[in-house]
A and B are shown apart, each in its own frame.
Chain A
């Protein structure tokens, strides 16, 4: 039984999350307030929603470096389409879903067709999107941000879906926290309870074996890239309806935060092993550290430093736990 427990990929990140939680609880007074908890959860959810598909993709043996700028690209796409054509914002929202899935498909298609490692293919789409985001926004709106869409048709209903808040016991909780939980549950369900989940582990663990027993490798991997596109669209919509406008240079660097959350959560860099719940703990560790440093009154610039330490620590811990699990 202990053996089974040790073999769970998320164990290391759970222990890490508890340790960091206790640490900030002890050293930072403001961290103990429920409103601070709500902020931590919100920050974690903005990373966590993307960490789920990124973790699934990593388990499937691939990377997506364009994930961060794809969030910005889909929100820019929705904002400019709706504003320039004076459409109901829901039209922009839905067309941009097709756009984001298309980016995911393109990534997957190029990786599977050219056989070039996904690290390089998505580095290419990352640079292309990063450039196009700013260039097209400047061209269309004459500035580096999109026009404010808060007075347009459909804005308030879209905001309710993507960027509202609700009260629990006097504390305001952002709706993305609920969406995050939902995505983690769906991701876990897919991985452990569906045929597609079995295929994800197989194409990441040993692609040749998977192909030999009839797993549709190409479709599985393309679907995983499209999953990243889907969640990038969702986060893009959240940013758009939370801030009414989009800065075209945003999102760069976030792709690494998603990957770090997945790795802290126990995903193997080489594929074939990991979990969606672990990625959620990874995102929570990110959120707690991000806010905890501020609450503790430290220089915020130390955050990246601590993130690096945690990444190294988590990787070593996960390796150790896995070795313990495999030895019998």
Chain B
């Protein structure tokens, strides 16, 4: 089932073309990896999908309808949740307040926060993903980077996300922590979500990806299913492909 479909989407910031002719599909139960170097247009692409920016040419279909999100809230309401690498959480706030931020549970005539339910739900949801916290009252900044990403992913799944956009979730993490996060990415896919996994690490992408899209200076350079490409080819393309071959020749010692 296709959740998001982009056809010939483009975006300019003034004279600068950030994205040109991007076409892709995000299917339920699949991980679509978007790879690319810095400045390739990965961030612009997810900003369009998550409602922070709007595209100015082409079409984006969500559940088959042409859509243009006015705000992140609008995207969230359609089940599209984004977990950003560096701004997934508010560090000084307790774990449970972070978990429910923007979707707080309230009760009674005065609409006070239903703190007990939120604490218990946070604990349960995290336990289900294998994170056992001693105290959901501790500031989330005390957790490790990997755990913070996992809390953000668990939060998105709990609030009924159908599409999960992950912006470089492993970029700042060590090997072991990256592994933990990748497990949750796979778990989200198995739960039937459509996952968009943004990364510049082809090894991480190939571990979990079903579909690979490589961006270069705002254009699509490669669009392959898993069966159509090997890790070596993906790594080579990512590193620069033909340019790299040329460079190799040029630098070859005689």
Say which one of A36-44, A115-123, A195-203, A227-235 lies at the interface with B.
A195-203
Q: Is A209 an interface residue (CB 8 A)?
A: yes
Bound-complex Cα distance A52 to B137 (A): 24
* Interface contact B103-A214, CB-CB below 8 Å: yes
- The dominant DSSP class at the A interface is helix
- The residues of A that contact B102 with a CB separation of less than 8 Å are 202, 210, 213-215
A220–chain B nearest beta-carbon distance, Å: 11
A206 with B104: CB separation less than 8 A: no
| Contact A206 B139, beta carbon cutoff 8 Å | no
How far is B103's CA from A205's CA once the two chains are assembled, in angstroms? 17
- Contact: A195 with B106, CB < 8 Å? yes
B38 within 8 A of A: no
Asked whether B92 lies within 8 Å of A272 as measured between CB atoms, the reply is yes
Q: Mark B23-54, 1 if CB is under 8 A from A, else 0.
A: 00000000000000000000000000010100
Interface size class of A (residues with CB under 8 A): 20 to 34
- Asked whether A206 lies within 8 Å of B91 as measured between CB atoms, the reply is yes
**Count of chain B residues with Cβ under 8 Å from any Cβ of A?**
31
B149 neighbours in A (Cβ, 8 Å):
none
**Chain A window 185-199, contacts with chain B (Cβ cutoff 8 Å), 1 for yes, 0 for no:** 000000001110111
Given the known inter-chain contacts A194-B112, A201-B97, please indicate yes or no for A212 contacting B72, CB distance below 8 A.
Answer: yes
A residues less than 8 Å from B111 (CB atoms)? 194-195
Q: Which of A198, A211, A212, A272 has the most CB of B within 10 A?
A: A212
Query: A216: which B residues are within 8 A, CB to CB?
Result: 73
Residues in B with CB closer than 8 Å to A193 are 112-113, 115
Q: Is the CB of A214 within 8 A of B142?
A: no
- Is A209's CB under 8 angstroms from B137's CB? no
Q: Are A205 and B91 in contact (CB under 8 A)?
A: yes
In the complex, which of the residues B52, B72, B89, B112 contacts A206, with contact meaning CB atoms closer than 8 Å? B89
| Contact A326-B142, Cβ < 8 Å, known A201-B90, A209-B89, A272-B90 | yes
Binds A, one of B58-66, B80-88, B191-199, B233-241: B80-88
Residues on the A chain within 8 Å of B138, using CB: 328
> Closest chain B residue to A271 by CB distance?
B92
Known contacts A198-B101, A201-B97, A328-B142; is-contact A214 B92 (Cβ 8 Å): no
Which secondary structure characterizes the binding site on chain B?
Answer: loop
Check: B93 CB closer than 8 A to any chain A CB.
yes
> How distant is the Cα of A198 from the Cα of B103 in the complex, in angstroms?
10
CA distance A208 to B83 in the complex (A): 12
* A199 to B90 Cα, complex, angstroms: 11
B77 to A, closest residue via Cβ: A214
**Please, which residue of chain A has its CB at the minimum distance from the CB of B75?**
A214
Tell me which residues across on chain A come within 8 A of B112, comparing CB atoms: 193-194
| Contact mask for chain A residues 248-276; partner B; CB cutoff 8 A; 1 contact, 0 none | 00000000000000000000100011000
Residues of B within 8 A of A201 (CB): 90, 92-93, 97
Asked if A198 and B92 sit within 8 Å, CB to CB, the answer is no
- The yes or no answer to B76 lying at the interface (CB within 8 A) is yes
**A198 surroundings in chain B (CB, below 8 A):** 93, 97, 100-101, 104, 113
Known: A195-B111, A198-B104, A206-B91. A213 touches B72 (CB 8 A): yes
Contacting pair A213 B101 (CB below 8 A): yes
Cβ-defined contact, A202 with B90, below 8 A: yes
Whether the pair B87, A212 counts as a contact (CB closer than 8 A) is yes
B72 adjacent to A205 (CB under 8 Å): no
When the two chains form their complex, are residues B90 and A212 in contact, meaning their CB atoms are under 8 A apart?
A: no
Which residues does chain A contribute within 8 Å of B130, judged by CB atoms? none
Judged by a CB distance under 8 angstroms, whether B70 is at the interface is no
CB-defined contacts of A211 to chain B, threshold 8 Å: 72
CB distance from A272 to the nearest CB of B (A): 5
Q: Bound state CA distance, A193 and B141, in angstroms?
A: 22
**Contact residues of A between 157 and 206, Cβ < 8 Å to B:** 193-195, 197-199, 201-202, 205-206
The answer on a CB contact under 8 Å between A209 and B113 is no
* Contact pick for B113, options A4, A195, A273, A326, CB 8 Å: A195
How far is A306 from B103 in the complex, measured between Cα atoms in Å?
45
* B245 → chain A closest CB, angstroms: 40
* Structural contact, B87 and A205, CB atoms closer than 8 A: no
Q: Is the beta-carbon distance between B92 and A209 smaller than 8 angstroms?
A: no
Residues of A within 8 A of B141 (CB): 326
Docked pose: A112 CA to B134 CA in angstroms: 39
Q: In the complex, which residues 207-244 of chain B have their Cβ closer than 8 Å to any Cβ of chain A?
A: none
New A-B contacts (9) at CB < 8 Å, excluding given A198-B97, A201-B93, A272-B92? A198-B104, A198-B113, A209-B101, A210-B90, A210-B101, A212-B50, A212-B72, A213-B102, A216-B73
Interface positions of A (Cβ within 8 A of B) = 4, 7, 193-195, 197-199, 201-202, 205-206, 208-216, 268, 272-273, 326, 328
* Contacts A/B (CB < 8 Å), 15 sampled: A193-B112, A193-B113, A198-B93, A201-B90, A201-B93, A205-B91, A205-B93, A206-B90, A209-B84, A209-B89, A212-B50, A215-B101, A216-B73, A272-B92, A326-B142
B-to-A contact residues, CB < 8 Å: 50, 52, 71-73, 76, 82, 84, 87-93, 97, 100-104, 106, 111-113, 115, 137-139, 141-142
Closest 9 CB pairs of A and B: A213-B102, A205-B90, A214-B102, A214-B73, A206-B90, A195-B104, A209-B87, A208-B87, A193-B112
